[in-house]
Amino acid sequence: MEIMINIKISKIFFQMAEYYVMKDVAFKPQAYERAARVIESMDEDLEGIYKESGIKGLVEIEGIGQGMAEKIEEFIKTGKVREYEKLKKECPVDLEALTAVEGLGPKKIKVLYENLGIRSIKDLERAAKIGKIRELPHFGPKIEENILKGIGFAQAGQGRFLLGSVLPMARRIEKKIAGLEFVSRAVAAGSVRRFKETIGDIDILTISDQPEKVMDFFCSMPEVEKVTAKGETKSAVRLDSGINADIRVVPEESFGAALQYFTGGKDHNIELRKIAQEKKMKLNEYGIFRGKKQVAGKTEEEVYEALNLRWMEPELRENAGEIEASREKKLPKLVDLKNILGDLQMHSDWSDGEHTIKEMAEEAAEMGYKYIALTDHTGDLQIAGGLDEKTILKYFAEIEKIDKELKGFRILKGLEVNIRKNGTLDISDEVLAKADIVLASVHSNFKMPREEQTERICRAMQNPCLDIIAHPTGRIIGGRPGYDLDMEKIFDCAKKTGTILEINSYPNRLDLRDAHIRRAVEKGLKLSLGTDSHARNQLRHMELGVAQARRGWCEKKDIINTMDYDELAAFLKSHKK
């Protein structure tokens, strides 16, 4: 569950922290950042707390003082925080755009503004291209080069939204509209239905015999910020979260064809249209036609069948071999969320998580899982409260204790250890041998040359205690590209050593990405799913990882968390070669 108001307020507080850094104000940046983090990972609705117990209730939240609580109240009442608006107005630079460039924080941006007058991405790009940035103290040619790379990346992500934030909105709208008495169906089609990792806009499709009423309802939903077009059967709006949504009402006899068409992807549709033409038929959003006669269109299944194809899951529709596979009856039987029996990456308050081991376990048990792995950070990673070897033993003892208390539910003693620059792990084999499951990942030295970075990870995989490489490429969607890796080599090395690769389900990671997953499956590798949760509400992100796995053509057998506990425990003892 994502709570929209919490997300909005935490975003405002994060930005206020940055503005205060720019203004050289002491303490406030830390205070606002801390509050923003707490709010971001809360699973209670701030508005609910406020309605129930007012400012007093808000002040009780860790990290929220009186002043902060008043700003939350102001936002709930007016939709605005005046101090934030004022800061934004006073700040001469486009902080939001500039901080989106990897490696640029408010402190660096301040230096860039004061020395070179950089206010926007355009200014930044110009200065980097003519070599002005390398001359600044503490910058240098390497940072300049990274800024140029970062700009390209930040712009590529512009105007797109994470699936993880769009999905709850799309579903809420879908549900509201489907619930209207004059609507018989409402479905979010487009990239939302294909579960793409980022979404351009939301495309809602409905069946109704009173389209004008649907348009009125849609355009006056409370989350609509602006109506950009309102027609008889089609409308488009901008939502207050910044994303566009459009809606179409179609007749029942065309619904399947419309759903197929507006689900896309575009390249998949173009191929289908070619097939229709070869068969002397015409395919469009109203149906398949031979001359003037509609031969299919009411359901998606009949549209595909009219083309001698089998219906296929939306996640496959990217014109990446699925049409051939469908014709030859070789479509994969995709893994499903209900096949997942446990979550294999999460953090507790023993390192940088918000909740206790017990709270995480109880939440997971409530979700219907049979087991989880607790995988707190270790050693070198001081900022994330990494555990040293002595503390790890206590942490394991605590896990064992809680494991005994919970009936019908198991907790694996796990760790997420750091892969050092030379490919060794930051915890000794002696301690790792006491764990049930060991994840390892790169959390430092992101910018090593390809060969060295690849070698570093391959070397780590040689360690017999290491089970899983977590978030293998390190990319952050809209944040930074992954480490420079030779993925073929990584896959070969994983195969040779029997190492599992993770599909990290955190909304801005989704790492491995779909194309990598597909290749890993082709190579016969085993994959694991982990949410990388740092709070219990984040366990729900599993759905995003499963969607990514499906986009990578994963079947149940490819994912180790589909095994039951005993099978998995035995597998973890024997998979390394």
**Of the candidates 560, 555, 557, 556, the residue with the CA atom closest to the CA atom of residue 574:** 560
* 241-242-247 Cα angle (round to 5): 95
Q: Which is nearer to Zn ion, 276 or 469 (CB)?
A: 469
**Of the candidates 332, 286, 283, 335, the residue with the CA atom closest to the CA atom of residue 308:** 283
441 binds, among Zn ion, Ca ion, ligand DGT, none (CB under 5 to 8 A by kind): Zn ion
Residues touching Ca ion: how many (CB under 5 A)?
Answer: 4
Residues touching Zn ion: how many (CB under 5 A)?
Answer: 1
Contact criterion met (CB below 8 Å) for 200 and 158:
no
Q: Which is nearer to ligand DGT, 260 or 375 (CB)?
A: 260
By Cβ distance, which residue is nearest to ligand DGT? 264
418 near Zn ion, rule: CB under 5 A: no
What is the identity of the amino acid at 569? Answer: A
Query: Minimum distance between the CB of residue 426 and Zn ion, rounded to whole angstroms?
Result: 13
315 binds, among ligand DGT, Zn ion, Ca ion, none (CB under 5 to 8 A by kind): none
Q: Which is nearer to ligand DGT, 61 or 257 (CB)?
A: 257
Contact pick of 29, 164, 190, 423 for Ca ion (by CB under 5 A): 190
Question: Which token pair is 99?
Answer: 């901080």
Sheet of 342-343: strand order equals 342-343, 371-377, 410-418, 437-441, 468-469, 500-504, 527-530
Q: Which is nearer to ligand DGT, 174 or 558 (CB)?
A: 174
Q: Which is nearer to ligand DGT, 199 or 493 (CB)?
A: 199
533 near Zn ion, rule: CB under 5 A: no
Contact pick of 10, 198, 375, 441 for Zn ion (by CB under 5 A): 441
15 near Zn ion, rule: CB under 5 A: no
Q: Which is nearer to ligand DGT, 20 or 261 (CB)?
A: 261
Q: Which is nearer to Ca ion, 119 or 193 (CB)?
A: 193
203 near Ca ion, rule: CB under 5 A: yes
**Of the candidates 457, 520, 536, 455, the residue with the CA atom closest to the CA atom of residue 488:** 520
- What span, in angstroms and rounded, lies between the C-alpha atoms of 225 and 219? 9
- What span, in angstroms and rounded, lies between the C-alpha atoms of 35 and 302? 53
Q: Could you tell me what percentage of the chain is helix, strand and coil, using 3-state DSSP and rounding each to the nearest 5? A: 50, 15, 35
164 binds, among Ca ion, ligand DGT, Zn ion, none (CB under 5 to 8 A by kind): none
475 binds, among ligand DGT, Zn ion, Ca ion, none (CB under 5 to 8 A by kind): none
265 binds, among Ca ion, Zn ion, ligand DGT, none (CB under 5 to 8 A by kind): ligand DGT
**Of the candidates 502, 542, 556, 512, the residue with the CA atom closest to the CA atom of residue 332:** 556
Q: Which is nearer to Ca ion, 191 or 531 (CB)?
A: 191
Query: Minimum distance between the CB of residue 199 and Ca ion, rounded to whole angstroms?
Result: 6
165 binds, among Ca ion, ligand DGT, Zn ion, none (CB under 5 to 8 A by kind): none
Q: Is the peptide bond before 272 cis (omega within 30 degrees of 0)?
A: no
- What span, in angstroms and rounded, lies between the C-alpha atoms of 568 and 342? 10
* 338-341-346 Cα angle (round to 5): 115
Contact pick of 33, 102, 201, 398 for Ca ion (by CB under 5 A): 201
Q: Is the peptide bond before 287 cis (omega within 30 degrees of 0)?
A: no
Q: Which is nearer to ligand DGT, 269 or 348 (CB)?
A: 269
Query: Minimum distance between the CB of residue 441 and Zn ion, rounded to whole angstroms?
Result: 5
**Residue 235 β-bridge partners:** 230, 247
**Longest Cα separation, the chain:** 77
| Site of tokens 């296929």 | 312
For ligand DGT, the binding residues (CB under 6 A) are 190-191, 196, 199-201, 203, 261-262, 264-266, 269-270
Query: Minimum distance between the CB of residue 416 and Zn ion, rounded to whole angstroms?
Result: 6
- Write out the residues near Ca ion by the rule CB under 5 A: 190-191, 201, 203
- Write out the residues near Zn ion by the rule CB under 5 A: 441
